[in-house]
Structure 1
Amino acid sequence: MILQALANILLAILLTHSFRFIVKKYNWIVLPLHQLALRVLLGVFVMTDLLVALNLPLDAKYTGQLLSEKPILATEYFINLAKPLLVWVLIYLFYHYSEEKRQKEIEGLKLKSSIKETEAKVLKAQMNPHFMFNALNSIRALVLEDPSKAQQGITQLSNILRSSLIADRRTTISLKEELRTIEDYLALEKVRYEERLQTKWDIDANTLGIQVPPMMLQTLVENAIKHGVQKAIGWGFIEINTSLANDKLYIKIRNTGQLYSTESDSESGGFGLKNTTQRLDILFGNEASFKIYQEDDLTVCAEITIPEKNTDYKNIITANTELKV
């Protein structure tokens, strides 16, 4: 009996390992259900036949007479040996099917994350030329008129570019860093527009550490100047407000202007608005929102909502200077 048990164990191990080898080699897990079921049944049938072929001779001493009288007992042998094999095969396939599905989901998430990261980098890179063009235009206007102010403008541009280089390494930055870039940019534009440009800051200190896409707010401020303040008769204003409520960061940018001037990409910076919407969707999905509307006859308002608890694990560089607001 001990030898018979050992023989069954060794044969069962050999058969199941052979079955596993075939499943992995030919990747049965990815087959359609009907094809997989047919192969499983065939595999169980072959393995059971081999076990029956081993056990019938070994049991002939006890069952030989019975088998000769009732051949149906051979079928019972087959069924009794097939049951544990079938259970083992189903458990094995279910486990590997679950693992295969889990791996595909992980790979899909990684691919989706990679695609979104690439899209975010592309969108961010698209904004830098627009920013540079506007900033250099501001300085160019002062080179002959007021060299000292032009020199000051170059220093401010240098500060902005330093922030931009840091931002290029990350998908998000703190609101404090973004506002500091805006502050430098508005100071640069103030040199050109002087009293025609009025600014107002209403910043909640509790919002400064929240992560936002780099250059996003600065782009909206650029559009506000180009399509609002620049076209205003007499003077124009830009107001930036941040607040925190219901675990959401609320950012409001109000400026002099007409909303109809921002409807086309070529004419008025619709590119920047579209870019803002895309970047928020890529980074935060449905948790973030962006809208722009005509608040009154002379004022345009842009509102951004971002989840408070968002983390950019790639941010390894921290700001070490304070925002002057």
Structure 2
Amino acid sequence: MNRKKMLIALWLFLALVTTAQLILTEIYKPGTFSFFDIVVSPIGSLATGIPLLFLVVIPFFDYTAKYSNRIRMGYLAAFAFVYTTVYILILLLIFTIVYGESFEDYKSGILNFGVGNFHNMFKNYLFQVAILYAYEYISKQADLITAKKDLEIELNQSKLQILRSQLQPHFLFNALNSVVSVIDENKRKAQEMLVSLGDILRTSLNTDFRQLIPLSKELEYLENYLSIEKIRYEGQLHYRVEVGEAASRLKVPSLILQPIVENAIKHGFVGLHRPLQIVVSADAQDRTIIVKNNGAELTDNKGNFGLRNVRERLSIYYPGQEPFRIYQEGNWTINKINLG
């Protein structure tokens, strides 16, 4: 509700209160007011207060906004006497016209009504100004919150772009090293790896890091990456994906699994004398994704570039929680993503 509608609602409420007060007075003291009196008083208040609200109160309130709070409040307080005087003059003029009274009655009515009700009209004005102040304050706070959120979004998007620019060269260098490691031994394998690498880079360049994508699409990208590593390590690397149809629809940050799997391969093979197994699974109900491997036991990988990138990206999408954990569970190193 905007401020004009709010103040009109206030005036209608006051008119209803006035009507109710006159009716109750007439019930308990019959003969005090006529039906005509009960109708004229609220209508007269509305006919006076609402035009003054739009023509005087709101324009003057907005005009004083350019001053400091102290000066502004001084102007608004001084203007209360002007407003109250004009309000009484107009209201009594309406009553005089409706009741068909003379100009002399109008002058005496101003004096009598002014003495008895000046303070009420004064408080009426101050109440309107207080509502305008409250609405202005709330609006400013809402604008500040919106501006803060917009700034946070812009900063997060900029941060995502920076993380993307860091991740892609890092991944590219590692992938090229994988190609180089087999190019002398098996040119066909190297060619297959380069084809897969080209598909990965094409996908990466066409992906908007700011958007969440279905897990099924992320797994397609991961399959391309693993096909490269599978060629490199041949029978020493095994992987499987255990993701049901419901879990495949989970929305995840794009290219979030590749650094985790890359880290699992890099550190999993250290000192390992058996094939490395990597398992990717997801739970739609818990909204979690797990990448686990049975390679070398976990060491402190918090400083690892790939995992640090994963943590920072996930913290942007899921602030205020721990969206990524890596821990040892028996013979398995567990990488767990919590999508909130």
Q: TM-score band (shorter)?
A: 0.7 to 0.9
Are 2:322 and 1:305 aligned?
A: no
Please tell me the residue identity of whatever aligns with 2:272: I
Cα offset, 1:194, TM superposition:
1.7
**Partners of 2:260 and 2:306 within 8 A in 1:** yes
Are 2:55 and 1:45 aligned?
A: no
Q: Provide the C-alpha distance between the structure 1 equivalents of 2:180 and 2:63, rounded to a whole number of angstroms.
A: 68
**Partners of 1:195 and 1:235 within 8 A in 2:** no
Cα offset, 1:280, TM superposition:
1.6
Instruction: Show the counterpart of 2:282.
Output: 243
Instruction: Show the counterpart of 2:328.
Output: 294
* Residues 47-86 of structure 1 mapped to structure 2, 5 A cutoff: 47-51=83-87, 61-62=104-105, 74-76=114-116, 78-86=118-126
Choose the corresponding residue for 2:55, options 3, 17, 20.
Answer: 17
Instruction: Show the counterpart of 1:155.
Output: 195
Please tell me the residue identity of whatever aligns with 1:274: R
Secondary structure of the structure 2 residue equivalent to 1:234: coil
Deviation string 1:163-212 (CA, Å, 9 cap, x unpaired) is 21232354322211221222111111122222222223322232112111
Q: Provide the C-alpha distance between the structure 2 equivalents of 1:226 and 1:95, rounded to a whole number of angstroms.
A: 59
RMSD across aligned C-alpha pairs, in angstroms? Answer: 3.6
**Partners of 1:178 and 1:214 within 8 A in 2:** yes
Comparing 145-154 with 246-255, greater Cα deviation is found at 246-255
Instruction: Show the counterpart of 2:11.
Output: none
Cα offset, 1:292, TM superposition:
0.8
Deviation string 1:291-316 (CA, Å, 9 cap, x unpaired) is 111224x5422111214xxxxxxxxx
Choose the corresponding residue for 2:313, options 266, 272, 279.
Answer: 279
Cα offset, 1:136, TM superposition:
0.8
Cα offset, 1:215, TM superposition:
1.6
Are 2:140 and 1:100 aligned?
A: yes
Q: Provide the C-alpha distance between the structure 1 equivalents of 2:141 and 2:207, rounded to a whole number of angstroms.
A: 37
Cα offset, 1:219, TM superposition:
0.3
**Partners of 1:198 and 1:235 within 8 A in 2:** no
**Partners of 1:48 and 1:85 within 8 A in 2:** yes
State TM-score, norm by structure 1: 0.74
Choose the corresponding residue for 1:198, options 230, 234, 238.
Answer: 238
Q: Provide the C-alpha distance between the structure 2 equivalents of 1:194 and 1:65, rounded to a whole number of angstroms.
A: 107
Structure number, greater radius of gyration: 2
Cα offset, 1:256, TM superposition:
0.7
Instruction: Show the counterpart of 2:40.
Output: none
Secondary structure of the structure 1 residue equivalent to 2:328: strand
Cα offset, 1:133, TM superposition:
0.8
Please tell me the residue identity of whatever aligns with 2:236: R
Are 2:205 and 1:171 aligned?
A: no
Q: Provide the C-alpha distance between the structure 2 equivalents of 1:26 and 1:113, rounded to a whole number of angstroms.
A: 34
Structure 2 unaligned blocks of 5 or more: 1-42, 97-101
Cα offset, 1:240, TM superposition:
2.2
Comparing 202-211 with 283-292, greater Cα deviation is found at 283-292
Please tell me the residue identity of whatever aligns with 2:292: I
Are 2:65 and 1:27 aligned?
A: yes
Percentage of identical aligned residues = 28
Cα offset, 1:283, TM superposition:
0.5
Deviation string 1:54-92 (CA, Å, 9 cap, x unpaired) is 78999971275699xxx8875435324324333333333
Secondary structure of the structure 1 residue equivalent to 2:318: helix
Instruction: Show the counterpart of 1:323.
Output: none
Instruction: Show the counterpart of 1:132.
Output: 172
Matched length: 291
Cα offset, 1:108, TM superposition:
2.6
Cα offset, 1:39, TM superposition:
4.5
Instruction: Show the counterpart of 2:128.
Output: 88
Q: 1:75 to 1:154 in 2, by over 3 A?
A: same
Please tell me the residue identity of whatever aligns with 1:47: Y
Deviation string 1:12-38 (CA, Å, 9 cap, x unpaired) is 84685344334334437x976x77655
Cα offset, 1:261, TM superposition:
5.2
**Partners of 1:255 and 1:299 within 8 A in 2:** yes
